[in-house]
Copies of this chain bind each other. A is one copy, B any other.
Amino acid sequence: MFEQLGLIGCGLMGGSFALALKRAGLVRRVVGYSKSPLTLARARALGVIDVEAPSALLAVSGADLVLVAVPVAACADTFKAIRHLLAPQALLLDVGSTKADVVAAARQHLGAHLPQFVPAHPIAGKESAGIEHADAELYRGCQVILTPLPETDPEQTVRAQRLWGALGAQVRQMEPQAHDAAYAAVSHLPHLLAFAALNALLAQPKGPQWLGLAGPGFRDFSRIAASDPTIWGDILLANRTEVLAQLQHFRDALAALEGAMQQRDTAALQALIGHASRGRSQHAQQWPAGGQGGAGAAANAHAAPAATAPALGGASNPAGTPEPRLCLE
């Protein structure tokens, strides 16, 4: 049980964390700060926070738990702003999608408070961001990756593990660099590709008309393209080196497919598609049911059927199956 959560950033991620803590009876009072006065007032009106703080520093004052839930590029300034009133035993968390840059900012700005910081990346989100979509159940069934440092107080890491676990998350630990390499591959590059696919369509005279013809396959494929430009510009730049390295791997794989098409090599093309299809199906089975796979993953076990089946090879959830709780990125 925490006495007071200091919440810096009152958006979907921070607001959902506050609501989840309250629902779990794990916090007595939430003091919030947002750089947008309108957002702050809304957070108060919605009962996500109990007290509006006029600054990040004052939101932290008296808190035994602090969550920094701002775009990753804003973490450095936030750490700088709060360090003077951060209580020595308070647990400090973030929710950033990149970890090496946030860790570097923490090392630079937190000083003696560094051992209190347990960096965290919840693999959660919603298409509908903003405080009005905050959801006490957002983190249930999601993975949360903790990337504690050598300097991190092991007791704080244990507290962070228990806390995220109490909100229903599956907690894992990784090195910050290993985290960034993995998420460049399974999150950041896919976002970049989806942005490019949308822009390629929009750049063509008939693109908007074609978009009206799109089916659910495209809807699912392009969903991440609707992400927030500020947050995702930050992420792609913060993890630039890893994302560009992944882009090169992607280009190689694409060139192999294109080569088979250029040469009209049916067998080679089918082999390349088969490799992707089997890989997707096999790995989808291992995704946890809550949020990260669920109906989709289960259905996937049956994908890539016998060649006699004339299905068009689409992809979505089975009819009538409710989408698992979304917690995605």
Contacts and interface: CB of A to CB of B under 8 A. Distances in A.
B221 A224 contact: yes
B204 A249 contact: yes
Interface string A123-159: 1111111110101011000110100000000000000
Contact of A276 (B195, B261, B326): B195
A114 interface: no
A101 to B, nearest CB: 13
Nearest to A246: B200
A11 B187 contact: no
Contact of A312 (B95, B193, B252, B306): B95
Contact of A221 (B220, B253, B314): B220
A33 to B, nearest CB: 11
A228 interface: yes
Contact of A214 (B244, B287, B299, B304): B287
Interface residues of A, number: 157
B123 A213 contact: yes
Contacts of A213: 123, 143, 145, 172, 182-183, 186
B316 A323 contact: yes
A294 to B, nearest CB: 8
Contacts of A316: 126-127, 223, 323, 326, 328
Given A233-B273, A257-B195, A323-B321, A95 B310 contact: yes
B222 A304 contact: no
Interface in A13-63: 13-14, 34-36, 39
A300 interface: yes
Nearest to A193: B193
Given A276-B195, A287-B214, A125 B312 contact: yes
A93 B93 CA distance: 59
A249 to B, nearest CB: 4
In the A-B complex, the 6 residue pairs with the smallest Cβ-Cβ separation, listed nearest first, are A125-B314, A216-B328, A227-B313, A11-B309, A129-B311, A12-B311
